[in-house]
Structure 1
Amino acid sequence: MTFELWVEKYRPKTLDDVVGQDDIIRALKGFVEKRSMPHLLFAGPAGTGKTTTALALANDLYKSEELVAANYLELNASDERGIDTIRTKIKDFAKTAPFGEVPFKIIHLDEADNLTADAQQALRRIMEMYSATTRFIFACNYSSKIIEPIQSRCAVFRFGPIPEEAIKNRLIMIAEREGLKYTEDGISAIIYVAEGDLRKAINLLQTASAMASTVDSKVVYRVAGLAHPEEVRAMINSALKGKFLSAREALRNLMINYGMSAQDVIRQLNREIMASKSLSDKEKAMLMIFLSEVDFRVTEGAHGDVQLAAMLAKLVEVGESHERGAVGRET
C-alpha cells in the first residue's frame, strides 16, 4: 500500500474546484474565457490556495496534461532564488514559442518573496522582452517583498484565509471518501487549529486519522501540539480570579501534557484573550502590550516558564483591577 499525501490527492485540478476565493476565481475564469491574461501576483497567507489556483488556471487554459507540461513551468523561488536561475532556466523557457492554441506560456514562481533583489531586477527586463509569448505568476506570502516595478507590471490578487465553512465541507468530503470516523468537535478542532490554512487542516485530518480510529477533538489537539481551548480559558479565568498558583499549575500541566512550547502557549493566550467576553477592550489592549513583550523576550532567549508566569501575574493584576472597577460601579 502506497502512502499518499491527501493534500496532493485532493488538490483541485480546475478553477471550479478551488474553494474559499470566489472573487479571485471569477476574475481568473474571465481570463480563461478570453485566453488572455496579464502577469499575475498572488499574495496571502500559507495554505490559502495560491499554488493550487495557479496550476488550476493552467489546467483550464491548456486543457490537456501534455500542453500543461509543455507550457507551464513552476519554480520554487526559495530554492532557486538567484540571478543565475533567471538567466538560464527562466530565460530559456520564456524565449521558446508556446504549444497549442493559447498564445502564451506561463512561468509560475512560487514563494517569490524569497527572490534576491538582483534576481527581481533581472526579471523586469525578461517580463518586457517576452511579454508576447510568456506570462508570469508570482506567488508570495508578503507582496511588500516584491519590488515595485514588478508589482506595477502585475494584476495583484490577495488571497484571504479560507472560510471555516469551506474548510469544514472539504474535510467532511475527504473523511467520507477515505471512510473515516469523525466527530463534529473533531472537525471543529481542526478548523480552530488551522486558522484558515486548508493545507494544514487536511494534514491534521490525515495525521489524526492515523493515530486513532475516530478523529475527535482530543486526538486533534494532541496531534497539533496545542491545548484544548477550554483548558486555556480555564487557566486564564483562574488567573483573573486571583488564583495565581492554580493558574500556574494549569500552565505546567498544559506544557507537559501537550508538549507545548512557550511560543505555542503565547499564541493561544493571544487568541483566547482577544476572544474573551469578560474583558473590556482597554483590558485586552493592556494585556496585548504585555503579551507582546513576553513574546519578544522568549524569542530573544528568555526562560519561557518565567515569562509565562509573569504573564499570569499580569492577568491576576488585571483581574483585581476589573473587580475593583465592578465594585466601584455598583456603589
Structure 2
Amino acid sequence: MSELFWFEKYRPRSFEEVVDLEEVKARLKEFVKAGNMPHLLFYGPPGTGKTTMALVLARELYGDAWRENTLELNASDERGINVIRERVKEFARTAPVGKAPFKLVILDEADNMTSDAQQALRRIMEMYANTTRFILLANYVSGIIEPIQSRCAIFRFSPLPKEAVLSRLRFIAEQEGVKISQEALDAIFDFTQGDMRRAITALQIASSMTKAVDEEAVAKALGYVSPSMLRQIIAEAIGGSFSKAMSQIYGLVADGGVGELELVRQIHREVLRLDVPEHLKPDLAFEVSKAHYAILRGANGLLQIYGLLAKIRKIISISKKS
C-alpha cells in the first residue's frame, strides 16, 4: 500500500540518496562508522527529512536486519506513556539481531507529548540505555523538555533549498513518465516552501489529472486559485475596472472558499512576476507583507486584499506618470 504514495516509493534508502543535509549526513556517518551513538533529537518543519534520515540511519546500522532492530512509534497516536513504556520494554527485552550492540526506537512527533509523559520517557530512556537508543522527531525543539534535550545529540533540519526539491521532483517525474514544465516546478516550490513530502504529493496529484503537468494543474492539485485567473484579476485591478476585480476577489473568498492568507501568498508570487520596473517590486512586496501581517493579527481579510490591490494600482500608476 505504501507504494501508492510517491513520497514513500521514492524515500531514500541510503545517505547517498538523501538530497542536501550534508552536515547532518556527515555526523551520522561517523556514528555508523563507530558502531555506536547517543540518543538523537531531530527537529525542524514537516517534510524536511527527519523520518527519512532516521530510517536511513537504521538501514546503515543494521543492513537487512533493520526492521527487526527498529521500533517506530508516533507520540500523537500513542499518547499514553504506559503504552509506550510497555512497547519499548517488550522490544528492548530481546537481543539485537545481527552484530548491532543496541536496538533503535524512533519516536515521531515527540513534542506532542505532555511534560509528564516526557518525564516518564526520560526515565525509560535511562532504563534501557544499555540496550536501546532513541531517535526523537519533533517540529519544535522548544516542545521537548530540557532533561531530554541534554541527553540527546541535537540535529536541526531546515526547509530544503529550491534546487534540491526541484532536482528530486524532476527525477520522480522522469521515473513516472510525467512531463512537467519549469513553471509548474517553480509553482510547487512556491506553494510548498521546502516541504519535500508535500511537494512530491502535489506532483503525484497533479500527474493523476494529466501527464503533462503545468502551473494550472499544480494549483488545482493544491487547491489554490488558478494562476492565470489571479493574473487576470490583478491586471484588471491595475489597469481596468477596480470594482470588477473586487467582485472577482469576493467571489473567490465568499463563494469559492479560498482562504485570504493563501490568496495573499499567491498575490505576492504574482506581484513579483509583474512586468514593471524592478525598483518597484520591493515596494509592492512590502505592501503585500503589510496586508499579510494585518490578516494574521485578525483584520478583515477581504478589506486587506482590496486595500492591497488599490495600493498596487497606485504605486504602478504613479510610476507610469513619472
TM-score by length of 1: 0.83
Alpha-carbon displacement from aligned partner over 1:223-273 (angstroms, at most 9, x marks no partner): 111135575466557657796424313424655897623342144346667
Matches of 2:315 and 2:217 in 1, distance apart? 38
- AA partner of residue 15 (structure 1): F
Pairwise CA distance, 1:41: 0.7
Matches of 2:42 and 2:2 in 1, distance apart? 33
Pairwise CA distance, 1:28: 0.9
Pairwise CA distance, 1:56: 0.7
Matches of 2:134 and 2:149 in 1, distance apart? 11
2:86 is aligned, of 84, 88, 91, to: 88
Pairwise CA distance, 1:109: 0.4
Secondary structure class of the residue paired with 2:298: helix
- AA partner of residue 305 (structure 2): M
Q: Who is 1:71 aligned against?
A: 69
Matches of 1:57 and 1:3 in 2, distance apart? 21
| Matched-pair contact (CA < 8 Å) for 2:189–2:199 | yes
Pairwise CA distance, 1:93: 2.3
2:205 is aligned, of 204, 207, 210, to: 207
| Matched-pair contact (CA < 8 Å) for 2:250–2:302 | no
Q: Who is 1:303 aligned against?
A: none
Structure 2: segments with no counterpart, 5+ residues: none
Q: Who is 1:248 aligned against?
A: 246
Matches of 2:182 and 2:114 in 1, distance apart? 45
1:168 is aligned, of 154, 166, 169, to: 166
Matches of 2:81 and 2:44 in 1, distance apart? 25
Pairwise CA distance, 1:34: 1.0
Matches of 2:251 and 2:8 in 1, distance apart? 37
Q: Who is 1:39 aligned against?
A: 39
Matches of 1:2 and 1:326 in 2, distance apart? 55
- AA partner of residue 166 (structure 1): A
Pairwise CA distance, 1:25: 1.1
Q: Who is 2:221 aligned against?
A: 223
- AA partner of residue 26 (structure 2): R
Alpha-carbon displacement from aligned partner over 1:81-104 (angstroms, at most 9, x marks no partner): 222123311233234432321211
Pairwise CA distance, 1:137: 0.5
Pairwise CA distance, 1:222: 1.3
Q: Specify whether residues 42 and 250 from structure 1 end up closer, same or farther in structure 2 by C-alpha distance, changes over 3 A only.
A: same
Aligned length: 318
Secondary structure class of the residue paired with 1:297: coil
Tell which deviates more after alignment, 225-234 or 122-131.
225-234
Matches of 2:178 and 2:319 in 1, distance apart? 51
- AA partner of residue 58 (structure 2): A
Q: Who is 2:18 aligned against?
A: 18
Matches of 2:315 and 2:185 in 1, distance apart? 38
Structure 1: segments with no counterpart, 5+ residues: 299-305
| Matched-pair contact (CA < 8 Å) for 1:167–1:191 | yes
Matches of 2:71 and 2:24 in 1, distance apart? 22
Matches of 1:149 and 1:57 in 2, distance apart? 24
- AA partner of residue 32 (structure 2): V
- AA partner of residue 310 (structure 2): V
Q: How does 1:281-320 map to 2 (within 5 A)?
A: 288-297=289-298, 307-317=301-311, 320=314
Matches of 1:119 and 1:274 in 2, distance apart? 47
1:186 is aligned, of 171, 184, 191, to: 184
Matches of 1:3 and 1:56 in 2, distance apart? 18
| Matched-pair contact (CA < 8 Å) for 1:241–1:320 | no
Pairwise CA distance, 1:32: 0.9
Pairwise CA distance, 1:36: 1.2
Q: How does 1:1-12 map to 2 (within 5 A)?
A: 4-12=4-12
- Backbone CA RMSD of aligned residues: 3.2
Matches of 1:40 and 1:181 in 2, distance apart? 40
